[in-house]
Each structure stands twice: as structure tokens, then as C-alpha cells.
Amino acid sequence: MKKLGFGLMRLPVINGDSKAIDIPTVKKMVDKFMENGFTYFDTAAPYHNGMSENAFREAVSERYPRDSYTITDKLSLFMINSADEIPAFFDRQLQKLGVDYLDYYLLHSLNRSTFEKAESFKAFEFAFRKKSEGKIKHVGFSFHDSPEVLDRILTAHPEVEYVQLQINYLDWEDKNIQSRRCYETAVKHGKPVIVMEPVKGGALVNIPKAASELLKSTNPDISVASWAIRFAASLDNVFMVLSGMSNEAQIDDNLSYMKDFSPLSESEKQTVTEAADIIRNSIAIPCTSCRYCVDGCPKKIAIPDYFRVYNEFRRFEGSRLGNAKNDYKNIAKNNGKASDCIKCGLCEKSCPQNISIRKYLEEIADKFE
């Protein structure tokens, strides 16, 4: 397979409603993707508030023969309260996707605590049982924690066939995400790697001017985003890089350099290392807009949207306070305000980036309200 995968978690929507996916536009994007020889799609039950799997059925499985595409879905244990719920959850996924089997199935977003839940629910055993029944071709898991926890999981379950990791040039040496060390742990266990968040939720697209100028001076003919995806795809043990594409322009750009992929040269690797240093000093909150925190928020606070406004405000050293306040007010019209936070902590439990969300919401409320 070509190394670019279509992540179905940031699809185009209508009027900002994450459940109202713009299916006609998605179909156009899918057609371009498939016409250029790409086949890999990735989704999960919580994406787009439960509508991503339906979008895949409408845009792909109802329009293309089953042997022409590859579909990955996930066992989202944070949506399940008992082992008895897993079979119905899985069957519902097949129905929503419109397929009889899955090419890849991941235990979703494992970390120290969710791994314990997976063990108590015998989730790995369930997935491999479905593989023996022909309902799943390959079993793996996506992961957000330390390399030590990853080593523990892979040691306990050597039968796992692959791992999905957050890898990008900003997180490669990050002390919290530890992309490099997690990647090296997967390599040590002989597990191929799928990459998620290669552009860190867009953070490696809208980068500071100094970093952008550095990349453009090295190669003015390619996009800023291409550096991030090529960085991940250049790693030897990576066989797929996911991109959550939101419009036709993004898919056109990705296809332009991934159709005939060329790995980063040594000098290009040095350039992205320098760019990472510049970017790292400009980001106040390392949010990727995965929106896992929003789904369980009892006050429906638009956490990633407020973080985006705050990061923009900080990036310009506070010179956009008026604009930021207006942006904040517009978002708050249809969502809970930052000050509505009751500090229940559900958001932080579901945050793959381990962000101190409650602390930042206090700062945002103080600054913008």
C-alpha cells in the first residue's frame, strides 16, 4: 500500500456542526484518493459524534467494491462499561460501515489505565477471536502513554500485529509524548507502526513565521504540511501515515507528494529539527483538537476551540486580544464557556496529550471573559 491513509476524524462539515458531515464533498475527496492509488481509511465510533462510520459507508463501501479499499476501526473501550457490551459494539460498527469484515481493528487509545480495563474485559481475546472467525484481518492497538507502558503491553501480548503511535517532528523528542522512544519500543518488539497526528492536529501547518520561512527557504515549492507527513513516512518501520483531511485542497496537497513518495534527506531532517525548536517555543497548549475531551464534558465546553483561540493569542504575543475575545464570544454562543467548568476532570482522563485542561480553562476564562 501507499503510505498515506485517510483519517476520518476531521471531515468537512456543514455550519460547524461536527455531526453534519458534508457527504458530497467527502465523496469527491474519496474519489481523488482512490483514483491516485490510495486505499487505506481509518475511523472510530466516537469520531464526528458517532457519524464518521456512517460517512464511510456512504462515501466508500456503498460506492466501491470491497476488495478495492482497506478499512480500520477501533474498539473504543472508553465507550464501553462491561465486557458483555463488546460484541454488540463490534456488530454495530460493521453495520454502520456497511462491511462484513475489517482489515484492521485496534484497541483504541490504550494507556496504563485503559490497558487494565482491556485486560479485565478480555478485549485482546475478543479481537483475536473475531480474527479467527474472519471478521478481522489484523489486530493492533493505538497508544498514548510512556514507552515503559508500551513495552509492558507488547510484552504481555506479543501476538499483536501492529501499533498506532502519535509521531511528528514536534513530539519526536517531547518529554511527555516521547514519540521517538515509543517508536523505538515498537521496533524492538518487531511491530510495524501506523502514525497518527503527523501534523499534530494542524499545529504543524499554522506554524510561526520564522519556522515557515525556514522551511520555505529550504524548498519553496512544497507545503508546510508536507514536511510533517514526510518526516513520519520516512521512518523505516512506519507502513502508514494517517492524515485527517478536511477539504479538497488538503487532499490535493497530500497526494502531490505522497503519490511518488520521497523520504527526507539528511539535510531536510536537520531543517525540521530546527523548525521544531522554533515551534515548540510558540505553543502555549499542545492540543491536537482530537475532541475526545468534548464528548464527555457535562457542560459541553468547546475545549479545543478555546485552546486554538488562546494559542493564536499567545503566538502573536498578546497583540490580538480584541480579536481573540471576539472569537471566544462567537464560540461561546453555542457552547459552554470556559468558566462553566465544574472541574470534574473527565476531560483530562480522556486527553491523549495529558494536558492540564482545567488549569488552562481558568486562564482562558480570566483572559477572555
- pLDDT digits 0-9 by tens, 91-102: 999 999 999 999
Q: Which of 47-51, 109-113, 189-193, 293-297 has the lowest mean pLDDT?
A: 293-297
Q: State the pLDDT at residue 177.
A: 86
- Domain final position from 248, 280, 312: 280
- Domain final position from 255, 280, 305: 280
pLDDT above 80 (res 315): no
Q: State the pLDDT at residue 316.
A: 67
The residue among 84 and 350 whose pLDDT is bigger is 84
Do the domain assignments include residue 118? yes
Residue 109 and residue 204 share a domain? yes
- Angle in degrees, CA 181, 186, 188, rounded to 5: 90
Q: What is the spatial distance between Cα 158 and Cα 188, in angstroms, rounded to a whole number? A: 12
Percent of the chain's residues with pLDDT above 70:
99
pLDDT above 90 (res 322): no
pLDDT above 90 (res 247): yes
Which positions ≥6 away from 38 have C-beta within 8 Å?
Answer: 1, 2, 4, 5, 6, 255, 258
How would residue 296 be classed by pLDDT, with cut points 50, 70 and 90? Answer: confident
Q: State the pLDDT at residue 82.
A: 97
- Angle in degrees, CA 279, 281, 287, rounded to 5: 70
Q: What is the CATH number of the domain that holds 9?
A: 3.20.20.100
Paired with 41 in beta bridges are: 6, 71
Do the domain assignments include residue 286? no
Provide the terminal-to-terminal Cα distance of the chain, rounded to the nearest Å: 49
How would residue 207 be classed by pLDDT, with cut points 50, 70 and 90? Answer: confident
Domain span at 311: 292-368
Residue 347 and residue 256 share a domain? no
The residue among 330 and 158 whose pLDDT is bigger is 158
DSSP structure class, residue 110? E
Q: State the pLDDT at residue 16.
A: 85
Which positions ≥6 away from 97 have C-beta within 8 Å?
Answer: 43, 53, 56, 57, 61, 71, 73
Q: How far is CA 239 from CA 49, 138, 223, 233, in A?
A: 28, 14, 22, 8
pLDDT above 80 (res 319): no
Residue 175 and residue 147 share a domain? yes
Q: What is the pTM of this model?
A: 0.83
pLDDT above 70 (res 75): yes
Do the domain assignments include residue 151? yes
How would residue 4 be classed by pLDDT, with cut points 50, 70 and 90? Answer: very high
Which positions ≥6 away from 284 have C-beta within 8 Å?
Answer: 310, 311, 314, 315
> Count of alpha carbons within 13 Å of 260, Cβ hemisphere only?
0
Do the domain assignments include residue 287? no
Do the domain assignments include residue 160? yes
Residue 131 and residue 256 share a domain? yes
In this structure, what C-alpha cell is assigned to residue 119?
Answer: 485486560
Q: What is the spatial distance between Cα 120 and Cα 363, in angstroms, rounded to a whole number? A: 38
Q: State the pLDDT at residue 180.
A: 97
Q: State the pLDDT at residue 318.
A: 56
How would residue 136 be classed by pLDDT, with cut points 50, 70 and 90? Answer: very high
Distance from the Cα of residue 167 to its chain's centroid = 10
Strand ranges inside the chain, DSSP E: 4-7, 13-14, 17-21, 40-42, 70-75, 102-110, 136-143, 162-166, 193-196, 238-243
Residue 299 and residue 196 share a domain? no
Residue 262 and residue 338 share a domain? no
Residue 313 and residue 175 share a domain? no
> What does the mean pLDDT of the chain come to?
94
DSSP structure class, residue 170? T
Do the domain assignments include residue 60? yes
The residue among 207 and 59 whose pLDDT is bigger is 59
Residue 209 and residue 316 share a domain? no
Residue 244 and residue 296 share a domain? no
Residue 303 and residue 238 share a domain? no
What is the tally of structural domains in the chain? 2
Q: State the pLDDT at residue 353.
A: 87
In this structure, what C-alpha cell is assigned to residue 111?
Answer: 494507556
pLDDT above 90 (res 326): no
The residue among 303 and 280 whose pLDDT is bigger is 303
Residue 343 and residue 228 share a domain? no
- For range 149-156, the mean pLDDT: 98
The owner of cell 481509518 is 42
Number of Cβ within a 10 Å radius of residue 86: 18
- For range 259-284, the mean pLDDT: 92
Residue 311 and residue 197 share a domain? no
Q: State the pLDDT at residue 40.
A: 98
Q: What is the spatial distance between Cα 86 and Cα 88, in angstroms, rounded to a whole number? A: 6
How would residue 320 be classed by pLDDT, with cut points 50, 70 and 90? Answer: low
Do the domain assignments include residue 285? no
- Domain final position from 251, 280, 309: 280
How would residue 212 be classed by pLDDT, with cut points 50, 70 and 90? Answer: very high
In this structure, what C-alpha cell is assigned to residue 285?
Answer: 497548549
Strand ranges inside 238-323, DSSP E: 238-243
